Amino acid sequence: MANDTVKRTLTVAFLLCIVCSVLVSTAAVKLKPLQEKNKALSTKRNILQAAGLLEEGKDIDQMFSKIQIKIVDLASGEFDENIDTAKYDQKAAAKDPALSIRIPGDKDIAKIKRRAKKVPVYLVQEDGKLQTIILPIHGKGLWSTMYAFLALEGDANTVKGYTFYDHGETPGLGGEVDNPLWKQQWVGKKLFDKDWRLAVKVLKGRVNLKKPEAIHQADGLSGATLTGVGVDNLMQYWLSENGFGKFLIRIRNSGGGNG
Ligand SMILES: Cc1cc2nc3c(=O)[nH]c(=O)nc-3n(C[C@H](O)[C@H](O)[C@H](O)COP(=O)(O)O)c2cc1C
């Protein structure tokens, strides 16, 4: 019974706390590289999926070796070859006043407030010809900022694939941006018209496939018009001259056609 003193109980509790906190901190430090590796693999997986290059069961790094990462200066549309693509973090850059711009309210249609000045793009070339351009784009839905990869053909106009990989919209409503059927409808859509004006539009309701403008239009999300509006808004921003516009013009002028 002599062991049941308050002092002893507190000492045991204290030592237990110390041991547990050492264990938790060691696990956090040891697991960090693994978490970062998994995060990088997940990003690569999403890019491959958007590009239509993902084959289940195959090694992600091996499949990703086809993809070239370049950093684009959005103000000029030119590549910046001086940045280490492996280390560049677009989200961190967007928070750094030196590496980002504040988007004026009237131009902030994606409702993201700031964006990085320089943004990675992912390219697939075959026999010296640009086959696929994958653009990271994001913007506000109803509840959350939605992050996506939009893959285009080498003409910088035709959609090859679209993957929303991070959002907090309601499952079954706005969360249907993840639905493979909804994503599939984008394949083959043209973002720009024959005069290279941005023409893409997410409708409220369904696209009338008989109308010529259907080639630029996507169905809205049933019961989730506001998330659909968010998708439309983020595309209007990132594909405009305030986003990837200058880069896309440069690609087009260097050989892509309005097919
Ligand atoms: C709990 C709850 C969650 C909702 N989540 C979403 C959502 O993720 N995206 C969305 O656009 N609308 C969502 N809505 C519905 C919106 O409030 C709004 O009614 C809807 O976007 C209008 O679209 P509709 O005209 O297609 O019905 C949600 C509503 C409720 C009650």
H or E stretch including 121? strand 118-126
- Mean pLDDT (the chain) is 94
Whether 73 and 83 have beta carbons less than 8 Å apart is answered as no
**pLDDT tens column, 174-187:** 999 999 999 999 99
Q: Is the pLDDT of residue 258 over 70?
A: no
In this predicted structure, what is the pLDDT of residue 1? Answer: 52
Ligand 1 is surrounded, with C-beta below 6 A, by: 142-143, 169-170, 173-174, 223-227
Give the separation between CA 92 and CA 16, rounded to whole angstroms: 37
**pLDDT tens column, 78-136:** 999 999 999 999 999 999 999 999 999 999 999 999 999 999 999 999 999 999 999 99
List the residue whose alpha carbon is closest to atom 7 of ligand 1: 174
DSSP 40-99: HHHHHHHHHHHHT---TTS-HHHHHTTEEEEEEETTTTEE-TTS-TTT--HHHHHH-TTT
Q: Is the pLDDT of residue 5 over 90?
A: no
C-alpha distances out from residue 229 to 159, 192, 204, 234, Å: 19, 19, 8, 9
Of the chain, the percentage scoring pLDDT greater than 90 comes to 83
Give the separation between CA 232 and CA 246, rounded to whole angstroms: 20
Residues of the chain by 3-state class (helix, strand, coil), percent to 5: 40, 25, 40
Q: Is the pLDDT of residue 8 over 90?
A: no
When pLDDT is cut at 50, 70 and 90, the band that residue 26 belongs to is confident
Compute, in angstroms, the gap from residue 221 CA to the centroid of ligand 1.
10
Residue with tokens 């030119």: 78
Q: What are phi and psi of 40, to 5 degrees?
A: -65, -40
The answer to pTM > 0.75 is yes
Compute, in angstroms, the gap from residue 56 CA to the centroid of ligand 1.
33
Compute, in angstroms, the gap from residue 227 CA to the centroid of ligand 1.
8
